[in-house]
Amino acid sequence: MTEQVEGEGALLEVRGLTVSAGARSILRAVSLRLEARSSWAVVGPSGVGKSTLLRCFNRLVDLTPALRVEGEIRFRGVSVRGADVDVDALRARMGFLFQQPVVFPRSIRENVWFGARRVRGLGRGALEALVERVLVAAGLWEEVKDRLAEPAARLSVGQQQRLCLARALAMEPEVLLLDEPTSALDAHSRALVEDSLQRLRGVCPLVLVTHDLEQARRLTDGMACFERRGDAGELVRFERW
Amino acid sequence: MRRRVDLAFTLVTACGACVACAVLGGIVAALLVRGLPAVSWRFLTEQIRLVGADGGIFYNLVGTLILLATALMVSAPVAMGLALVEGVYLAGAARWRRRVHLAIYLLNGVPSLLFGLFGFVVFVKYLDWGKSWLTGGLLLGMMMVPTVTVALTERIRGLPRAYVEAAAGLGLSRSQIIWSVILPQSLTGWLTGTLLGLARAAGETAPIMFTATIFAGATIPSGVKESPVLSLPYHIFVLSQDSFDPAVGARVWGTAVVLLGVVGGLSLLALPFRLRQHEEARHD
């Protein structure tokens, strides 16, 4: 963290974050600072709260009312937890990829512009151009360019995950939050998704939750390592390679 | 011993099913045998003449369809609103959700005659509409609301959480999620509930007899006040009570067959959607 460029702020900054469900803690007293212009991995065993941390960043945790969140999170210097934060606008700035791809029961094309049409309010022409651009970036264009009107559910799981990546990119996010995006995929699909992410990390910082240390080394510049202490996950090591 | 209990249980359930089927079959057969000879193109397209002894039931059929169309339009927004309140807005407030749920079931249990009396007091007398198709449509619509709401709520609650999270993750607001994810994917539930509700509403007499329908002398309504319609169930109700003329008798049975056709048609329309729902439930 000493290599930080002068004048460059943090991408995400967490101070004293504790998440609990009733009496049970999920994350305890997490403090960390992820620099901008770099990509980061969050690693650790299952059930240590990695996904929960990611969901705190874009406040998807709000959708689970049973979770209590304490502490401070700043995204590019601005608190994400204030009462006056426009949560929808915040989420639109952060792309999110789930472990299992979630495609809507619509065509491939409509899935790609699902968020962009509604949130960014783009017109038809802009959307058509956007679809090609983000599908190319997600490494899916060649496979689907002739069947954009087909239902997205007909794609393989690996293709669906790349479609979800394209859908997130269509929002022109400032960061991509990736929640074990390749763990549900076969080796071939995993390699394709990784290729896309490898190309993207120069343009848009990644925060990658993963079990796979090798993958973390391939795709990111450093990692925050979590372990279970008692019932809750704690940050035990932070390193840059 | 256990096998014998098992066998006895199977027999009892089979008997129950047979009785139900026999009753349904008996009603349908009795109606068809007596009523089918009276049903003809003329019967469906002419208006009532000679106090039901001649002519047809054209305006009765039209009146019932007007009432059903109004009920559909009344129930849709109310039921959707209620289902969204219960399934989405109160998703985190279990106690309030139970209360709303209880209210829906209570509404479902209100006898149809009370709906009729309520409509009579409020619309016919207090608002001074007289008998009006709109009152009938409103009452039938309110009676349908529980059926539609329950079908829709179940569909909404069965919707995979991942869809809502994925849409929220893209930055869609709650209302955008409702319009682009929740409602489109619960449409089959709405349709099923609506068709079943309409099928029941089509045969209701009590809510409309003091408020919306008369026996003869109405055609297509042109306003709201003092604008009653004819209807199939009220036609049957009046003629079966008051007439001993055999020519009337055959027409009453004929009317019943047409009413059964409307109800059966609506139920059959709902079938493919219900099957699809079960199919999807099995895959989830």
Q: For residue B44, what are the contacts with CB-CB under 8 A and spacing of at least 6?
A: B56, B57, B58, B61, B258
Judged by a CB distance cut-off of 8 A, whether residue B92 touches chain A is yes
Q: Locate the chain B residue with the closest alpha carbon to A169.
A: B170
Q: Tell me the longest C-alpha to C-alpha distance in chain B.
A: 70
The phi, psi pair for B244, rounded to 5°, reads: -115, 5
- Residues of A with CB below 8 A from B164's CB? 63
Contact call for residues A173 and A115 (beta carbons, < 8 A): no
What is residue B280's predicted lDDT score, i.e. its pLDDT? 54
Contact call for residues B150 and B106 (beta carbons, < 8 A): no
The phi, psi pair for A237, rounded to 5°, reads: -155, 145
- Residues of B with CB below 8 A from A164's CB? 166
- Residues of A with CB below 8 A from B170's CB? 91-92, 96, 114-115, 119, 167-168, 171
Q: Dihedral of CA B137/B143/B144/B149: which sign?
A: positive
Strands (E), chain B: 48-49, 54-55
Domains of chain B: 39-283 (1.10.3720.10)
CB contacts under 8 A, B 136-165 vs A, are 162-165
Q: Residues in chain A whose beta carbon is closer than 8 A to a beta carbon of chain B?
A: 58, 60, 63, 65, 88-93, 95-96, 98, 100, 102, 104-105, 114-115, 118-119, 164, 167-168, 171
What is residue A164's predicted lDDT score, i.e. its pLDDT? 95
Closest CA–CA distance from residue A17 to any residue of chain B (Å): 21
What is residue A1's predicted lDDT score, i.e. its pLDDT? 40
Q: Please write the tens of the pLDDT for every residue from A187-241.
A: 988 999 999 999 998 889 999 999 888 899 999 999 999 988 888 888 888 888 8
What is residue B77's predicted lDDT score, i.e. its pLDDT? 94
How far apart CA A239 and CA A221 sit, in angstroms, is: 9
Indicate yes or no: CB of B163 within 8 angstroms of CB of A104: yes
Q: Tell me the longest C-alpha to C-alpha distance in chain A.
A: 55
Contact call for residues B84 and B122 (beta carbons, < 8 A): no
Mean pLDDT of each 10-residue bin along chain A, 241 residues long: 50 91 89 88 89 93 89 91 90 93 93 92 89 93 92 92 94 93 90 91 91 90 89 86 82
Size of interface A-B (CB pairs under 8 A): 59
Q: Locate the chain B residue with the closest alpha carbon to A117.
A: B172
How far apart CA A193 and CA A157 sit, in angstroms, is: 11
pTM exceeds 0.90: no
Q: Locate the chain A residue with the closest alpha carbon to B91.
A: A65
Rg (CA), chain B: 22
End-to-end CA distance of chain B: 38
How far apart CA B65 and CA B43 sit, in angstroms, is: 17
- Residues of B with CB below 8 A from A89's CB? 171
- Residues of B with CB below 8 A from A167's CB? 170
Contact call for residues A192 and A216 (beta carbons, < 8 A): no
Q: Which of A65, A105, A118 sits opposite B92 (nearest CB)?
A: A65
Q: What mean pLDDT, rounded, does chain B reach? A: 88
Q: For residue B270, what are the contacts with CB-CB under 8 A and spacing of at least 6?
A: B191, B192, B195, B196, B199
Residue with tokens 């929960």: A52
What is residue A93's predicted lDDT score, i.e. its pLDDT? 93
Residue with tokens 């079960």: B278
Q: Locate the chain B residue with the closest alpha carbon to A165.
A: B170
Q: For residue A76, what are the contacts with CB-CB under 8 A and spacing of at least 6?
A: A9, A10, A11, A36, A174
What is residue A77's predicted lDDT score, i.e. its pLDDT? 87
Instruction: Report, as ranges of residue numbers, the positions in chain B whose pLDDT lies below 70.
Output: 51, 277-284
Burial A146-176 (b: 16+ CB within 10 A, else e): eebeeebeebeebbbbbbbbbbbbbbebebb
Q: Locate the chain A residue with the closest alpha carbon to B165.
A: A60
How far apart CA A12 and CA A34 sit, in angstroms, is: 5
- Residues of A with CB below 8 A from B173's CB? 88
User: What are the helix and strand counts (H, E) for chain B?
Assistant: 12, 2
Q: Which two tokens stand for residue B110?
A: 């209100």
Q: What ipTM goes with this model?
A: 0.90
Pairing of strands A175-179, A94-97: parallel
What is residue B284's predicted lDDT score, i.e. its pLDDT? 42
